[in-house]
Amino acid sequence: MDRKTIEYSKAQISQVMMPNEANAAGNVHGGEIMKLMDNTAYVVARKHSRCNIVTARVDELEFHHPIYVGELVTCKAHLVFVGRTSMEVHVIVEVEDLTCDASPRVALTAYFTMIALDHDGRPTPVPKLAIETEKEQEDYLRGKERYELHKLRRQDKK
């Protein structure tokens, strides 16, 4: 199976947040943003693997800033690590106030682990990553550490 670069499957989804996605004070619900993040991670995993995808895990989900109705939310996602059938995707959410010229701010970040499934719904192998930069290599090694740690923890639970 050919290797694919991280650049190849990078994805971005933008959306202006609406009142039906927020509470009475105008704060957008965390779950609305998480759905957008999951969708963006799905696009990345689907592009890389060309298979059906499910989300297996979300790590280090952090809400750094509130998001309000009317603001532009942009989810940016890229692959960090690839196992045999699993893909770890880093999702960064930027929020931009469209009433002024202020720069976008990072509002949320998380790592999504996505699993490729075959036509029978079983985990299926995905292409390996072609690492191109030192930063990608550093991130890959950290992703590998998380992957191995989660695997050990799951084995301990059995």
Q: Which is nearer to ligand COA, 107 or 116 (CB)?
A: 116
Does 113 bind ligand COA (CB under 6 A)? Our answer is yes
Asked if 69 contacts 21 with a C-beta cutoff of 8 angstroms, the reply is: yes
| 82 token code pair | 């690839």
| 67 token code pair | 């998001």
| Chain centroid to CA 66 | 19
Minimum CB separation of residue 56 from ligand COA in Å reads: 4
Does 135 bind ligand COA (CB under 6 A)? Our answer is no
Interacting residues with ligand COA between 40 and 69 (CB under 6 A)? 54-57
Classify residue 6 by burial, with Cβ atoms within 10 Å: 0-12, 13-18, 19+. Answer: buried
Minimum CB separation of residue 107 from ligand COA in Å reads: 23
Q: Select from 40, 115, 129, 136 the one that contacts ligand COA (CB under 6 A).
A: 115
x/- binding map, residues 70-109, to ligand COA, per CB under 6 A? -------------xxxx-----------------------
Does 128 bind ligand COA (CB under 6 A)? Our answer is no
Count of other CB atoms within 10 angstroms of residue 155: 8
Classify residue 12 by burial, with Cβ atoms within 10 Å: 0-12, 13-18, 19+. Answer: middle
